[in-house]
Amino acid sequence: MKIKDLAKIVDGAVDGNGDIEITGMDGIDTAEPGDLTFAIDENKLSEAEKSKASCILTVSSARKSSKPLIRVANPKLSFLVAYNALNASKEVKAFKHPSSNVSEKASIGKNVHIGAGVYIDDGVKIGDNVVIEANSVIKKNCEIGSFCRIYPNVTLYKNVKIGNNVILHGGVVLGSDGFGYVKDKGKIYKFPQLGRVIIEDDVEIGSNTTIDRGSLSNTVIGAGSKIDNLCHIAHNVKIGKNALIAAFCGIAGSVTIGSDVTIGGQVGIGDNLKIGDNVTIGAQSGVTSNIKSGSVILGFPARPIAQTRRQMAVLSWLEKNYKLVSAKIKEKDPA
């Protein structure tokens, strides 16, 4: 994309040669020729001029520069907008590493990059402009949409379905068997785990996160949701749109979560619970009951945040005053 085209996307003014081609974006320290970088003020502009970047996104008021500029109101926000424009729907160069193994019974779209050691089994369908990086494994009958990126060492069990613009980071495992057993006479029997994992459009899933397949229904992650590293989503969980779920969250079996929830790190949600829309759950909470839409909760068991904070305050108060309380209850009854 040319500088002048990028400038249109971020509603900015070009100062310099707008016909130079921009091929990537990076921070000031690591930018290479062809990259756009950004400078939030004059100091950063001086640093950026010394970088290898080919163009600098900076504030409207900035001085003239030795490099081409794009002047905008908010360089940081514009950087994000430009980044997404450059990256979200980037056309991929078709490539198939000779060490990859792709079944002849798989259907691979246009412009798909298949890295070294990738294994793609029978019946897999992959859309256009997808990147699958080294040593990832895609088992039978998985469906992957367009513009997805699968980083190295990812595992998709059979029948996993992934929408468009989905990012799976390194070591993610989707579709492993749920933790479902029946105890009978002291022995533990494995219950069949036959459902699918369905990941809707625009989802990003962090490194080494695991999402189990449904038992007899599906596990579903709603469009636009973002899940951090090392989370665990159990079988049959349904998560709505635009969830933000921080690291180490554990969502137990058959939980239903609405849209636009925000869940802090290390939260646990007990099985079969229903969480409404627009719920915010503070870090390290343990959710043990259904939660209404719009709630902000914290603690173990998780309660409205004001209540949990009062309990913390009251316990601190008692810690300081317990000798007085203790003396009081040992008083003789005044009657």
Name the residues annotated as catalytic: 235
Task: List the strands of the sheet with 155-156, edge to edge.
Answer: 101-102, 119-120, 137-138, 155-156, 173-176, 210-212, 232-233, 250-251, 268-269, 286-287
| CA–CA distance, 325 with 10 (Å, rounded to integer) | 64
Instruction: Specify the DSSP class assigned to residue 102.
Output: E
**Nearer to its own copies (CB atom), residue 71 or residue 235:** 235
Beta strands in 48-196 (DSSP E): 55-59, 69-72, 95-96, 101-102, 107-108, 113-114, 119-120, 125-126, 131-132, 137-138, 143-144, 149-150, 155-156, 161-162, 167-168, 173-176, 181-184, 187-190
Alpha carbon 135 to its chain centroid, in Å, reads 21
Beta carbon of residue 64, minimum distance to its own copies (angstroms, whole number): 25
Beta carbon of residue 279, minimum distance to its own copies (angstroms, whole number): 15
| CA–CA distance, 252 with 217 (Å, rounded to integer) | 15
Beta carbon of residue 104, minimum distance to its own copies (angstroms, whole number): 14
Beta carbon of residue 118, minimum distance to its own copies (angstroms, whole number): 9
**Nearer to its own copies (CB atom), residue 104 or residue 333:** 333
Q: In 275-313, which positions are buried (b, 16+ CB within 10 angstroms) versus exposed (e)?
A: bbbbbbbbeebebeeebeeebebbbeebbebeebeeeee
**Closest alpha carbon to 49 in 34, 71, 69:** 69
Task: List the strands of the sheet with 256-257, edge to edge.
Answer: 107-108, 125-126, 143-144, 161-162, 197-199, 219-221, 238-239, 256-257, 274-275
**Nearer to its own copies (CB atom), residue 19 or residue 246:** 246
Beta carbon of residue 188, minimum distance to its own copies (angstroms, whole number): 6
**Nearer to its own copies (CB atom), residue 19 or residue 47:** 47
Beta carbon of residue 114, minimum distance to its own copies (angstroms, whole number): 12
